[in-house]
Amino acid sequence: MTSPPTPYNVLRQPDLLARLLLLLWSAALLAAIAAAPLAAAAARPEGWFLYQVFEPFCHQYAERSWHLQGYPLAVCARCAGVYAGLFLAPLLRVWIPARTIATALALLGASWAAEFTGLAPVSANRTRFVTGLALGCSVGVVLLSRAPRRVIRTRSAPLPLNAPQ
């Protein structure tokens, strides 16, 4: 006879738990990124606060950002792509190999270097978003591949007295 399902079944599947946590965390970040200009347009102080939260992680140049209601997102298009990629990684992990992070970093680095040195004009926000998306997906896949693979014990079954703790 099998034991009845427990509310902790998700803990028995660390890969599923890691995917769920990354999905929820990245969804919250994307919501905050979009909420900043919406709050700023409504003259709410939360908008300023959200811009300040993302300031250490992004230059927030208005010309390199998409806009909502006349205000730039809390991050530039490339950073928005990274966060969107982190959101997509748990959904796409089954077919994106973890080694793509090197390729994604090379694309992003080449784009940045070409802009920085003046060999290429500043790329359009679409290009910046796509390079960030590739990096975000790759980083998400690597994070998920490093999730613990052991089964987490629950209190549903007592341990034998001589079992290692």
pTM: 0.75
- Provide the phi-psi class of 60: left if phi over 0, else alpha when psi is between -120 and 50, else beta: left
Print the domain residue range for 27: 12-145
% of the chain surpassing 90 pLDDT? 40
DSSP-based three-state secondary structure for 95? coil
- 33 neighbors 24 (Cβ within 8 angstroms): no
Q: Cα–Cα distance between 95 and 74 in angstroms, integer?
A: 31
* pLDDT single digits (tens) 10-28: 444 557 888 889 999 999 9
Q: Is residue 117 part of a domain?
A: yes
Domain count, the chain: 1
pLDDT digits (tens, 9 = 90+) for 87-134: 998 887 555 665 677 788 888 888 888 888 888 777 788 888 988 998
Whether the per-residue pLDDT at 139 is higher than 80: the answer is yes
Asked if residue 153 is part of any domain, the answer here is no
- The answer as to whether 33 is a domain residue is yes
- pLDDT mean across residues, the chain: 81
Q: What is the pLDDT of residue 104?
A: 80
Cite the beta strand spans of the chain per DSSP E.
67-68, 71-72
Residue 151 falls within a domain, yes or no? no
